[in-house]
């Protein structure tokens, strides 16, 4: 209390600093830029902040901070547009929003879902800032109490959300999570540098896949393909007008859920190392667990939007704690933020342990700039929501090429290699199949996201614990079973038991009817084969590098047991069992186009890109797609193509990015953007 | 900014008039980059130390180059920086709008014959070499033991160190501690040195090192709070090639002094030679800027002069102190000498380290 009394005048000083009109001007500028970038799926704070960095050198510190904080704060707000309207996770913060937001958009309630999401975001952001104002003074010892065993338990708690999101057949969900975990281990092991499912001849695989690509491939690609095959608009009815007030009321009706999820967001954001990438799933899981009627989750329950959206803006506030107090970035965008802060002024603000003692006024200014950016960003978004929601009434065939262009561009930012596009396409195929046979895609993604931390913390905890045990048994036990660990174990157990008991009622991705046995069996065999190969590959890692072997072998074993169980069940159960869910059967009536011809368009874009580079391939793709698939006139198609190319070039030019080159570019020198 | 610009161009003019660093600027073949965009490839992600270093220099370079081109930092992470370096190796000089920033993590795989290395430093043209140093520190209880009984008192302790990998820059501290006889167990899988420091702060690791700039910003507050005690700096190489105390930390003993004083450690023999070789490769010229193979002398001179002008700015000491530390920023022939010592280690040192890595950590580089 005394501590806070002494901080109060500083808080007042901070408000004096940020209420300066020029500072507010910079903040609004940052917010608008952040909204523009956040709207595009896959482009988040990293792209935006990199854009600002060159201007930060020697800039008046407060103005620079306002600009950067404004931009970072609103990315998790505006990325909701893509999640709700298109079913594309705008960034890792909005993955869970897709599950219920997109079905709402399909029902013509996009504006309602959006405004509920924005209200929740705003509230989460403000609550997060308020909480931080007090917490930041006492945060250091609390954050330091989270040692490796605690971090491991938080990771396992995150993984336990698979239990809720596993879908109707729990074993399928678990196998999907194992598959995600295994895909996450691809590349160089963190502990000994051994390769798993990779080779030095294909350097791309050595570094493993990036979340941006996996997220887009697993959620966006299948959705785009599915909508395209049905050849109509996203919403199956007219968009409700004035829906945005309903959304605000929805948020108000669930305000306590919003409070709890905001606190979850801050709390997990505070812990360095997890980067908050699972916050939205945990919040979603919490929303499901605490609701009485769970039947609507996955097919458009507004609580499935309020929960994750309350948590993801609060998380940004929480993420400031490790960033400002320890100089350890909680996420990629925070890392650039640190670099940007060091460029400001004469570099007098040094992010790190001295921040609270020497620069408490700046610390508070940052916290409350973040809160104000949330307010400004949300207001802009809510007013835009009604209009933008009408996008869902456009015929999808006209939207899809544009979306695909953006997704391909975003994926390419991951590593600036043509293999980014191959990975997007390849994992996209997996996503399409998982969607078709009703394998839980959220479970897969949670596995993928948590794979690296789960392995890293397990190895480190084991190593440190054994060193402690060598000193004394007591010291070892104290280290492993700290009070925080015990609490987390209890919470995890409760969550798993609850989850498994209710998983059958929760259809995270809607209802799917069952069909023949053959197709689901073939897919299961393919999954089994991959897990078996990954298992064999990992088990061949020699003994001296066993730290890189243990985790994939362990996960592989569980996965194979799951696969075996499924195979036995498939043998025994009739073909109407949920085990044989097959969306092809369900959607037979509404699909206007086959899967393969639709995929061929995108495969064609990929092949053409590898030959003549992205821009030329894109021009051909846009032109022919609009003309032949969407059936527009030549005139229309040419205009559409020109607009598309101009747009993507403008974006790349602003962000200083290049496009994937092809074979042609290795033979002939071409001017930008054809390079 | 304007005043600085004028100052910089005045400096440039003075330098070229003296004909010392940039004789080429005097004739008509000098590079003019008006309206161009210089691409600066950094083979790491946006989040690392090299990114901070490049982001510091990029706007200054833009001001200092003739024609004030836009300088864009492009990040090309992958395979511990070998991907970006391999990519740069394939480029040839065109118009002086492509430069590359390497780091110690690019040098070490090259020196250790890592199978992924397809680049050759000898083909490139160095225009800047930035040095740094490193400091090893301990928690207060162990520092007290050390104070009382010297290094011998620490030989029975179990040390845990959060490491990014034995073949990275961590090789230098790990070898140093091993030579002192400490029983240090590295916990691998740390994502950056900042995470290593956090592990130290949480009390899980009980020995750590940081490069100079991170020590200044991240550890100094801990030292003031009494939760960390600096032990030794790695030292620094003076103009005659001698190992001396680090000028940024003049009050701290160098590793050479600590090793000299410890009965368990020797400042001669293969281990010592290997340590010196790899320290010299990794720290005094840790980050370098290169033009690609085939660059004409005029272009090399233009860039050298630009970097020299930056390092001779009136306010350079002030703006660089917290970003880079007080270390030589070498240009011209000095950068060439630094490159030589950073990319050539005696064969014995190389094979010593390769054997040591295989024996101690089971790391096989082939």
Contacts of B221 in chain A (CB under 8 A): 352-354, 357
Residues of chain B found within 8 Å of residue A326, distances taken between Cβ atoms: 194, 197-198, 201
C-alpha–C-alpha distance, residues A425 and A213, integer Å: 9
User: What residues of A are in contact with residue B203 (Cβ under 8 Å)?
Assistant: 144, 147
How many beta-carbon contacts under 8 Å exist across A and B?
132
Which chain B residues are Cβ-neighbours of A665 within 8 angstroms?
Answer: none
User: Which among A207, A329, A459 has the least Cβ separation from residue B189?
Assistant: A459
DSSP code of residue A124: H
* pLDDT, tens only, B163-220: 888 888 889 999 999 999 999 999 987 777 788 888 999 999 999 999 887 888 788 8
CA distance B187 to chain A (A): 6
Interface predicted TM-score of the whole assembly (ipTM), two decimals: 0.84
B242 touches chain A (CB under 8 A): no
Is the separation of the CB atoms in A32 and A211 below 8 Å? no
**Polymer length of chain A:** 675
- Bridge partners of residue A659, in order along the sequence: none
Model pLDDT, residue A241: 58
CA distances from B327 to A37, A199, B130, B258, B306 (A): 39, 39, 7, 22, 18
Kindly report, residue by residue over A236-268, the tens digit of the pLDDT.
Answer: 766 665 667 888 899 999 999 999 999 999 888
Instruction: State whether A350 and B217 contact (CB < 8 Å).
Output: yes
* pLDDT for residue B20: 42
In chain B, residues 74-113 whose CB comes closer than 8 Å to chain A: 74, 76-79, 83, 86
List all residues of chain A from 82 to 121 with a beta carbon under 8 Å from chain B.
none
Q: Quick: pLDDT tens for A379-392.
A: 888 888 777 777 88
A177 has pLDDT over 90: yes
Check pLDDT > 70 for residue A503: no
Handedness of CA B161, B162, B167, B170 (dihedral sign): negative
pLDDT digits (tens, 9 = 90+) for A438-460: 898 989 998 998 898 899 899 99
* Contact status, residue A20 vs residue A62, Cβ threshold 8 Å: yes
Could you count the other beta carbons within 10 Å of the beta carbon of residue A383?
Answer: 12
B46 touches chain A (CB under 8 A): yes
Exposure letters A42-78 (e unless 16+ CB within 10 A, then b): bbbbbbbbbebbbebbbbebbbbbbbbbbbbbbbbbb
Report the alpha-carbon distance of residue A324 to residue A370 in Å, rounded: 13
Whether A655 and chain B come into contact, CB under 8 Å, resolves to: no
Closest CA to B73 of A372, A631, A553, A52: A52
Q: What is the DSSP string of B311-343?
A: HTSTTHHHHHHHHH-S--EE-HHHHHHHHHHHH
Nearest CA in chain B to A334: B47
In this complex, is the C-beta atom of A476 within 8 Å of any C-beta atom belonging to chain B? no
What separation in angstroms does the CA of A636 have from each of A390, A568, A626, A649, B306?
21, 55, 8, 20, 51
Instruction: Return the SS3 of B228.
Output: coil
C-alpha span between B147 and B149 (Å, rounded): 6
Of B83, B203, B217, the CB nearest to A327: B217
B323 contact residues in A (CB cutoff 8 A): 342, 347
The reply to whether residue A544 touches residue B160, judged by beta carbons under 8 angstroms, is no
pLDDT at residue B299, rounded to an integer:
92
Mean pLDDT of A314-324: 83
Residues A59 and A65: their CA atoms lie apart, in Å, by: 9
**Residue B17 pLDDT:** 41
The residue among A147, A193, A420 with the most chain B CBs within 10 A of its CB, best to mutate, is A193
pLDDT of residue A273: 65
Q: What is the pLDDT of residue B27?
A: 43
Asked if A484 has any chain B CB less than 8 Å from its own CB, the reply is no
Q: Do B185 and A467 touch (CB under 8 A)?
A: yes
Contact A357 B221 (CB under 8 A): yes
Sequence-ordered list of residues with C-beta below 8 angstroms from that of B64, at least 6 positions apart, any chain: B8, B12, B306, B307, B309, B310
Residue spans of chain B under pLDDT 50: 1-28
Contact list, B322 vs chain A (CB under 8 Å): 342, 347, 350
Which pLDDT score is estimated for B4? 43
- Residues of chain A with pLDDT > 70, as a percent, come to 96
pLDDT band of A117, cuts 50, 70, 90 = very high
A135-139, A151-155, A400-404, B281-285: segment of lowest average pLDDT? A135-139
Residue A543 pLDDT exceeds 90: no
Among B74, B166, B194, the residue to mutate for chain A (most A Cβ within 10 A): B194
Burial of residue A317, with CB atoms counted within 10 A of its CB: 0-12 exposed, 13-18 middle, 19 or more buried: buried
Count of helices and strands (H, E) across chain A? 32, 2
Mean pLDDT of A331-336: 76
CB contact A206 to B (< 8 Å): yes
**Least trusted range by pLDDT, from A496-510, A614-628, B155-169:** A496-510
Q: What are the chain B neighbours of A467 within 8 Å (beta carbons)?
A: 158, 160, 185
- Average pLDDT value over all residues in chain A: 85
The count of other CB atoms within 10 Å of the CB of residue A104 is 26
Which of A164-168, A327-331, B56-60, B278-282 shows the lowest mean pLDDT across its residues? A327-331
Under a CB-based contact definition with an 8 Å cutoff, are residues B40 and B99 in contact? yes
- Cβ of residue A515 closer than 8 Å to a chain B Cβ: no
Give the chain B residue nearest A322 (alpha carbons): B198
* Chain B hits for A50, Cβ within 8 Å: 46
Name the least confident of A2-16, A154-168, A645-659, B97-111. A2-16
Residues B158, A467: C-beta atoms closer than 8 Å: yes
Identify which of A512, A527, A520, A513 has the alpha carbon closest to the alpha carbon of residue A570: A520
Beta bridge partner(s), residue B100? B41, B290
User: In the structure encoding, which two tokens stand for residue A668, read together?
Assistant: 């002939």
Any idea what the Cα angle at residue A518 is, between residues A516 and A519, rounded to 5°? 90
Residue B9: the pLDDT is: 46
B218 close to A (CB below 8 A): yes
Nearest CA among A68, A66, A123, A117 for reference residue A96? A117
Most confident of A153-157, A312-316, B176-180: B176-180
Closest residue in B to A467 (Cα) is B158
Radius of gyration of chain A (CA): 25
Residue (of B118, B105, B357) closest to A201 by Cα position: B118
Interface with B, mutate which of A46, A51, A192 (most B CBs under 10 A): A192
Q: Who among A191, A335, A353 is closest to B47 (CB)?
A: A335
Check whether A505 has a pLDDT greater than 70.
Answer: no
Q: Does A51 touch chain B (CB under 8 A)?
A: no
Closest to B232 (Cα-Cα) out of B187, B279, B195, B278: B279
Confidence tier at A228 by pLDDT (50, 70, 90): confident
For residue A296, the model assigns a pLDDT of 82
CB B339 within 8 A of CB B28: no
Helix (H) or strand (E) holding B73: strand B70-75
CB contact under 8 A, A347 and B322: yes
> Is the Cβ pair B1, A58 closer than 8 Å?
yes
Question: How many other CB atoms are found less than 10 A from the CB of residue A592?
Answer: 11
Residue A332 is nearest to which of B46, B72, B225, comparing CB atoms?
B46
* DSSP bridge partners of B92: B293
Mean pLDDT of all residues in A188-200 = 81
DSSP 8-state secondary structure symbol assigned to residue A393: G
Burial (0-12, 13-18, 19+ Cβ within 10 Å), A624: middle
Residue A202 neighbours by CB under 8 Å, 6+ apart: none
The shortest C-alpha distance from B24 to chain A (Å) reads: 29
Which of B56, B79, B201 minimises the CB distance to A206?
B79
- The answer to whether the Cβ–Cβ distance between A192 and B59 falls below 8 Å is no
CB contact under 8 A, A193 and B363: yes
Which residue of A330, A452, A467, A549 is the best one to mutate when testing the B interface, meaning the one whose CB has the most B CBs within 10 A?
A467
Handedness of CA A374, A376, A379, A385 (dihedral sign): negative
Paired residues of B128 in beta bridges: B289
């Amino acid at each position: 209390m005394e501590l806070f009394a002494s901080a109060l005048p500083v808080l007042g000083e901070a408000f004096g600093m940020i209420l300066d009109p020029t500072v507010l001007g910079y903040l609004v500028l940052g917010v608008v830029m952040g909204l523009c970038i956040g709207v595009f799926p896959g482009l988040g704070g990293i792209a935006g902040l990199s854009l600002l960095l060159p201007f930060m050198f020697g800039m008046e510190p407060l103005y620079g901070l306002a600009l950067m904080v404004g931009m970072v704060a609103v990315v998790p707000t505006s990325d909701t547009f893509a999640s709700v309207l298109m079913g594309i996770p705008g960034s890792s913060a909005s993955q869970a929003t897709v599950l219920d937001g997109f079905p709402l958009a399909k029902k013509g309630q996009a504006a309602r879902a959006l405004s509920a999401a924005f209200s929740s975001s705003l509230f989460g952001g403000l609550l997060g800032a308020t909480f931080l104002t007090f917490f930041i003074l006492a945060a250091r010892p609390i954050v330091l109490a989270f040692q490796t065993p605690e971090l491991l338990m938080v990771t396992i708690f995150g993984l336990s959300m698979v239990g809720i999101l596993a879908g109707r057949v729990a074993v399928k969900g678990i196998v999907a999570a194992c598959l995600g975990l295994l895909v996450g281990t691809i590349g160089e092991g963190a502990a000994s540098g051994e390769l798993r499912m990779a080779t030095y001849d294909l350097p791309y695989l050595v570094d493993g896949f990036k979340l941006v690509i996996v997220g887009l491939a697993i959620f966006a690609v299948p959705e785009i393909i599915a909508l395209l095959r049905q050849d109509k608009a996203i919403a199956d009815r007219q968009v409700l007008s004035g829906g945005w007030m309903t959304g605000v009321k929805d948020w108000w009706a669930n305000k306590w859920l919003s409070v709890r999820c905001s606190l979850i967001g801050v709390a997990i954001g505070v812990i360095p190392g997890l980067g908050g990438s699972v916050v939205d799933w945990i919040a979603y899981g919490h929303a499901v667990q605490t609701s009485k009627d769970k039947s609507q989750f996955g097919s458009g329950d507004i609580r499935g939007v309020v929960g994750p959206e309350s948590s993801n803006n609060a998380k940004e506030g929480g993420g400031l704690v490790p960033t400002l107090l320890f100089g350890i970035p909680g996420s990629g965008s925070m890392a650039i933020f640190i670099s940007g802060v060091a460029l400001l002024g004469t570099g007098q603000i040094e992010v790190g342990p001295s921040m609270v003692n020497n620069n408490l006024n700046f610390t508070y200014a940052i916290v409350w700039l973040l809160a104000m950016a949330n307010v400004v960003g949300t207001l802009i978004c809510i007013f835009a929501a009604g209009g933008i929601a009408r996008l869902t009434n456009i015929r999808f065939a006209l939207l899809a090429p544009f979306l695909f262009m953006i997704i391909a561009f975003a994926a390419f930012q991951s590593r600036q290699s043509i293999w980014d596009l191959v990975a997007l396409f390849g994992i996209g195929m997996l996503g399409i199949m998982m969607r078709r046979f009703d394998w839980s895609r959220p479970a897969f993604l949670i596995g993928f996201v948590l794979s690296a931390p789960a392995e890293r913390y397990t190895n480190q905890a084991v190593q440190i614990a054994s060193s402690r045990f060598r000193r004394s048994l007591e010291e070892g036990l104290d280290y492993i079973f700290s009070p925080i660990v015990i609490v987390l174990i209890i919470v995890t157990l409760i969550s798993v038991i609850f989850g498994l008991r209710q998983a059958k009622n929760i259809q995270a991705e809607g209802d799917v009817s069952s069909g023949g046995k053959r197709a689901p069996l073939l897919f299961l065999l393919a999954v089994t084969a991959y897990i078996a190969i990954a298992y064999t590959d990992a088990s061949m890692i020699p003994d001296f590098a066993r730290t890189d072997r243990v985790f994939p072998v362990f996960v592989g074993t569980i996965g194979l047991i799951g696969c075996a169980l499924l195979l036995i069940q498939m043998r025994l159960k009739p073909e109407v069992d949920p085990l044989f869910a097959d969306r092809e059967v369900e959607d037979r009536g509404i699909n206007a186009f086959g899967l393969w011809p639709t995929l061929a368009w995108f495969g064609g874009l990929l092949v053409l890109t590898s030959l003549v580079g992205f821009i030329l391939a894109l021009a051909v793709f846009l032109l022919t797609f609009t003309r032949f698939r969407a059936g527009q006139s030549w005139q229309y198609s040419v205009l559409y193509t020109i607009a598309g190319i101009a747009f993507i070039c403008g974006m790349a030019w602003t962000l200083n990015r290049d496009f994937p080159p092809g074979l042609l570019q290795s033979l002939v020198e071409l001017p930008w953007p054809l390079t | 900014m304007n005043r600085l610009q004028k100052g910089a161009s005045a400096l440039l003019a003075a330098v070229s008039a003296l004909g010392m660093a940039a004789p080429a600027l005097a004739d008509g073949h000098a590079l003019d980059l008006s309206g161009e965009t210089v691409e600066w490839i950094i083979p790491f992600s946006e989040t690392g130390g090299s990114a901070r270093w490049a982001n510091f220099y990029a706007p200054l370079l833009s001001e200092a180059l003739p024609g004030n081109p836009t300088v864009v930092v492009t990040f090309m992470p992958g395979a511990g920086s070998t991907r970006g370096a391999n990519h740069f190796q394939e480029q040839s000089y065109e118009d002086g709008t492509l430069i590359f920033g390497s780091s110690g993590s690019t040098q070490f795989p090259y020196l250790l014959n890592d199978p992924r290395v397809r680049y050759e430093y000898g083909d490139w043209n160095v225009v800047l070499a930035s040095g740094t140093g490193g400091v090893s520190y301990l928690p207060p209880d162990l520092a007290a033991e050390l104070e009382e009984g010297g290094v011998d008192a620490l030989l029975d302790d179990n040390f845990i160190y959060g490491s990014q990998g034995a073949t990275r820059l961590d090789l230098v501290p790990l070898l140093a501690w091993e030579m002192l006889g400490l029983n240090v167990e590295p916990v691998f899988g740390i994502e950056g040195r900042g995470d290593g420091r956090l592990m130290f702060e949480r009390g899980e690791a009980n020995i750590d090192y940081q490069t100079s700039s991170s020590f200044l910003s991240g550890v100094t507050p801990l030292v003031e709070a009494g939760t960390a005690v600096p032990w030794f700096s790695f030292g620094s190489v003076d103009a005659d090639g001698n190992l001396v105390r680090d000028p940024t930390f003049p009050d701290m003993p160098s590793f050479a002094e600590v090793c000299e004083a410890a009965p368990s450690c020797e400042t001669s023999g293969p281990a010592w030679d290997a340590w010196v070789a790899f320290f010299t490769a990794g720290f005094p010229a840790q980050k370098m800027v290169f033009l690609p193979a085939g660059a004409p002398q005029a272009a090399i001179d233009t860039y050298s002069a630009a970097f020299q002008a930056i390092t001779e700015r009136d306010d350079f000491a002030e703006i660089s102190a917290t970003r880079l530390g007080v270390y030589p920023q070498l240009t011209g022939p000095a950068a060439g000498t630094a490159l030589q010592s950073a990319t050539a280690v005696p064969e014995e040192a190389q094979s010593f380290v390769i054997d040591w890595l295989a024996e101690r950590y089971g790391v096989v580089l082939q």
